[in-house]
Every structure is written in structure tokens, then in C-alpha cells.
Structure 1
Amino acid sequence: MREYDIIRGPVVTEKTTLQKELNNQVTFKVDKRANRVEIKDAVEKAFNAKVKEVRTVQVKGKVKQRGRIVGKRNDWKKAIVTLMPGQRIDFFEGV
């Protein structure tokens, strides 16, 4: 797999923004089949940043109801990437 097949996109929430500022951690939505080593290599190649640590979480999809119709969102995998000191990944700088 290529790095953009593994990394689906950033997860931008209040919590991930605080993690980025305080702990130099960036959160990505990644392919469910990717392991930590593949995620680390993909981030280093795609963003030219040195990775210190990768933690992964399997996120279960929520059950949602609209009237009588009940559905379920897809399950997905989240990767919390800790960068080496002095490294940065900027998604929305200047917005």
C-alpha cells in the first residue's frame, strides 16, 4: 500500500487540537488493515516528519436512528502519532 492508501485523513476536533499543541501529537483516520509500522512509515514519507510513537484505536461505529429506521455508521481505525521534538505537521495553518 502507498502512504495515501494508509492515511485516510486528519481527525480535527477540540481534543486533537489540544493534543497537537501540548503533546506534539497528530491524529489520523487510517486504513483498518494498517499496522503501527506501516502507519509510521507512511506519515514519515507523506509529511517529511520524524515519528516517535504510534498508538492505534479501533473506533466502533455509532448506531443512529431516524424515525423507525435504524442504521449503523462504519467502524474505523484511528492513529495517534507522536512526533519527535521540533517536528511539525500543519494542516490548516493560515486559515
Structure 2
Amino acid sequence: MKDPYTVIIRPIISEKSLRLKDEGKYVFEIARDANKIDVRRAVEEIFKVEVEKVAIINEKPKLRRMGLTQGFTSKRKKAIVTLKPGYKIEIISGV
């Protein structure tokens, strides 16, 4: 079993993730080698909640340019975690 603190890198705070929070869904950036089972165990262990569902999204790198120089953003992996009714993650609730 992987260390839960290496599976979940950070919560993602955006307009969309704050809207999803009202539905009991929370968005995290996760390690590239993590799967749904790893994410479920990590969230349940770190935040002491029960997870109903996990959806994983692989974001491709985007091309970015500044003048003649161009490069790519980093690719990342996100997880949308749905909690069972009655559970809440307090770290994100203060935002």
C-alpha cells in the first residue's frame, strides 16, 4: 500500500471545484501512478471520511508561448472524490 501523503499532492481550489464542493465532491491533484483504490484509501485515512466514488482525469500538457519562446505546462492527474452523505472535509470548507 502506498503512503497516503504521497498519493494526494494537494487540493485544487478553483471556481469549478468550489461549486462541486456544494455537491459533496472534492478535487485533488494526485500522483501519476495512483489509481482509484489508492486515492480512496488515502482520502479516507487522511481526512477520516467515507468515500462513495472516485473519478480520475489525466490532463494533457498545454502549449504556452511568450514571444518567440514556447513550452508546455506540466501534465497532471486529478481525482474528483465524492463523499458519502453527511461527511465533509474541513480543510477545504474554510475557503
Q: Do they fold alike, i.e. is TM over 0.5?
A: yes
User: Structure 1 unaligned runs (5+)?
Assistant: none
Moved over 4 A (4+): 92-95
The amino acid of 2:45's aligned partner reads K
1:36 and 2:10 matched = no
Q: CA deviation at 1:41?
A: 0.2
Give identity over the alignment, percent. 33
Q: Secondary structure at the match of 2:28?
A: strand
1:48-94 Cα offsets, whole Å, 9 max, x none, are 01000000000112110011011001110000000000000022445
Query: Are 1:4 and 2:5 an aligned pair?
Result: yes
What does 1:80-91 align with in structure 2 at a 5 Å threshold? 80-91=80-91
**In structure 2, do the counterparts of structure 1 residues 90 and 63 end up closer, same or farther at CA, with 3 Å as the change threshold?**
same
Q: Which residue of 1 aligns with 2:46?
A: 46
Structure 2 residues not aligned, in runs of 5+: none
Count of residue correspondences:
94
Q: TM-score, normalised by structure 2?
A: 0.93
TM-align CA RMSD: 1.2
Pairs within 5 Å for 1:54-73: 54-73=54-73
